[in-house]
Amino acid sequence: MKMQNYKIAVIALITLLSAQVSLAQQYMRFSWKDLNMDYSAFAYLIDSEHVIVRINSTQNGVLKLAEATGKLRVHPGYSPKARVLEIGIGEVIYSKDNKMSGSFPAFRLFQENYDPVTNKVSGRSYVAQATKIAQKGYISGHPDTKVQIYTKLSDVQQNINAGAYFLKEEAYYKQFAKTNSNTSANSNSGNKPAASQSASLVTVHLILLGDTKDASIGESVKSDLAKMRSLFQNTMSVNKNIKFNIKEISGDQLVSTNVQNTVKSLTVGANDAIILYYSGHGSNPQGSNSEFPTAAMIKSSYKLENMGNLISNLKPRLAVVIGDLCNSVPRTRTALPEEPLFRSAPAQHDPARVAEFLIKAKGKIVSTSSSYDEYSYSLGNNGAFTNSFIDAMTSAINSHSNMPATWDAVLKQSYKEAYNKTKNIVNKPGTKGQNGFYRGSLVYN
């Protein structure tokens, strides 16, 4: 290939990484060298849109650990079977010299001739910084990268040193660390857990509802559901006194009777929490007697406030309904230009702050993403409110956060951020942007 054509192909590679990769949950470990620095990374591939990456490096004898997020893509223009892991700017979460400032540049892991059936790569693999890919001869002169792929959590636990990529107080460390071979034997030895351990466990029932079959917003809703699941199941699971019971109703199963039956089938204790989240279309026609919208479902509908009554009737300690939907005459949730592809994850998640939301909070609230007669919007492949809520909640449980660890603070920040992202869009006559709100009250024990 001529150098000019090669350069064009490389530039195209940067700009045209658009096709998603379909995969089951996977794990990857890969190492490389750049500018005389040794790097090692561990990637947790939840799905093609949600990849958590930890980068370990040593420079001048100083060990640093950074966290970034990524997405998995294929690029037929480059190679019909190539897959590319795009990794965003990493934020330093640990440094041996305690200098926590700084970040790692965005980069990409390229794997040529990947066979999804055998889960193997027959071509070369290499890592390239995003800002250097177009440099003359950079890719061809880059050393190969050794990549190991795992499909089973047990294989990761036996072959990966979790301490090289995760801090010991993190939930991820506990998830990926080597299992104790004596655990199963001891569990049948007749020893009972301490009473304080069993008594303090709180169950959070997370019900995820989404109109994933809709032609206009289905993909956006899928991403919303995946991100909300990850927020609770992965991020907030740092608090080990919480057990999550997650149920998802989407696609052809999104029928109001299925929602009712699923909720009524829950075994809810007096100290449990129920959080119901809906992403999809909504409406609130003129003359309605409710300020809350009605969620559209398959051949049915369900008022948001009635969902609140449904879950509160089970008498949990905490009942929360969160809706990302229009609150106006029926209309498709409008898509806006996509946000930047990558955002760094926060440094630390504080179990005590998680407890404020899921263990200490008591009461009932119903939240909606837009006010009466307003539309709600999507930002590329996510709801504007959902993205804002995840950002706000993730920030609030950060050990270094200045935000109060309360639902009120998180929801108000979510509404504010969603409005700022949509404030230049004309909504109902005379207004711009979407303005969410909630009703209800909570106390904190």
Instruction: Identify which has the larger pLDDT, 382 or 1.
Output: 382
- What is the distance between the alpha carbons of residues 163 and 173, in angstroms, rounded to a whole number? 7
Nearest alpha-carbon partner for 127 in 105, 109, 106:
109
196 pLDDT above the threshold of 50: no
**Higher local confidence (pLDDT), 376 or 160:** 160
Q: Which of 290, 352, 358 is nearest to 319 (CA)?
A: 358
CATH for 198-444 is 3.40.50.1460
Query: Which percentage of the chain shows pLDDT scores above 90?
Result: 24
- Predicted confidence band of residue 171 (pLDDT cuts 50, 70, 90): confident
Least confident of 45-59, 146-160, 195-209: 195-209
Please, which residues have CB within 8 angstroms of residue 33's CB and are 6 or more apart in sequence? 39, 143
Distance CA 304, CA 296 (A): 10
**Which residue has better confidence, 380 or 234?**
234
pLDDT digits (tens, 9 = 90+) for 61-108: 778 888 888 888 765 555 567 788 888 888 888 887 776 666 777 888
Q: How far apart are CA 163 and CA 177, in angstroms?
A: 8
* Summary mean pLDDT of the chain: 77
Residue-level pLDDT at 71: 86
Residue 2 corresponds to which tokens in the numbers above? 């001529």
Q: Is the pLDDT of residue 258 over 80?
A: yes
Q: Which amino acid is at 439?
A: R
Do the Cβ atoms of 388 and 414 come closer than 8 Å?
yes
**pLDDT the model gives residue 290:** 73
pLDDT value at position 80?
A: 61
Amino acid letter, 240: K
User: What is the DSSP pairing of strand 437-444 with strand 382-383?
Assistant: unpaired
Of 267, 262, 369, nearest in space to 307 by CA = 262
Convert the chain into a string of H (helix), E (strand) and C (coil): CCHHHHHHHHHHHHHCCCEECCCCCEEEEEEEEECCEEEEEEEEEEECCEEEEEEEEEECCEEEEEEEEEEEEECCCCCCCCEEEEECCEEEEEECCCCCCCEECCEEEEECCEECCCCEECCCEEEEECCCCCCCCCCCCCCCCEEEEECCHHHHHHHCCHHHCCCCCCHHHHHHCCCCCCHHHHHCCCCCCCHHHHHHCEEEEEEEEECCCCCCCHHHHHHHHHHHHHHHHHHHHHCCCEEEEEEEEEHHHCCHHHHHHHHHCCCCCCCCEEEEEEECCEECCCCCCCCCCEEEECCEEEEHHHHHHHHHCCCCCEEEEEEECCECCCCCCEEECCCCCCCCCCCCECHHHHHHHHHHEEEEEEEECCCCCECCEEECCEEHHHHHHHHHHHHHCECCCCCCCCHHHHHHHHHHHHHHHHCCCECCCCCECCCCEEEEEEEEC
Q: Give the pLDDT of residue 377.
A: 75
Confidence of residue 292 (pLDDT cuts 50, 70, 90): confident
Among 61-75, 142-156, 169-183, which is the least confidently predicted range? 169-183
The Cα–Cα gap between 270 and 316 comes to 5
Average pLDDT estimate for 110-137: 74
Strands 120-121 and 114-115, by their bridges, are: antiparallel
Q: Look at phi and psi of residue 361 and say left if phi exceeds 0, alpha if psi is from -120 to 50, else beta.
A: beta
Which pLDDT belongs to residue 6?
38
- Contact between 322 and 389 (Cβ < 8 Å): yes
Domain with CATH 3.40.50.1460 in the chain: 198-444
Q: What angle, rounded to 10 degrees, do the helices at 218-230 and 384-396 form?
A: 10
**pLDDT band of 400, cuts 50, 70, 90:** confident
Does the structure show a pLDDT above 50 at 351?
yes
Average pLDDT over residues 358-366: 95
Q: What's the rounded mean pLDDT across residues 332-345?
A: 37
Q: What is the pLDDT of residue 421?
A: 83
CA dihedral 162, 166, 167, 169 (to 10 degrees): -80
Angle at 389 between CA 385 and CA 390, to 5 degrees: 120
Distance between CA atoms of residues 241 and 196, nearest Å? 10
Identify the pLDDT of residue 439: 93
Task: Confirm if 91 and 99 have CB atoms less than 8 A apart.
Answer: no
pLDDT at 128: 79
The torsion angle over the Cα atoms of residues 432, 340, 232 and 441, rounded to 10 degrees, is -20
Instruction: Band the pLDDT of 15: cuts 50, 70, 90.
Output: very low
Q: Which of 328, 332, 333, 331 is nearest to 288 (CA)?
A: 328
Residues 6+ apart with CB under 8 A from 309: none
Q: How far apart are CA 82 and CA 114, in angstroms?
A: 6
Mean pLDDT across the stretch 222-243? Answer: 90
Let me know: does 201 contact 244? Beta carbons within 8 Å: no
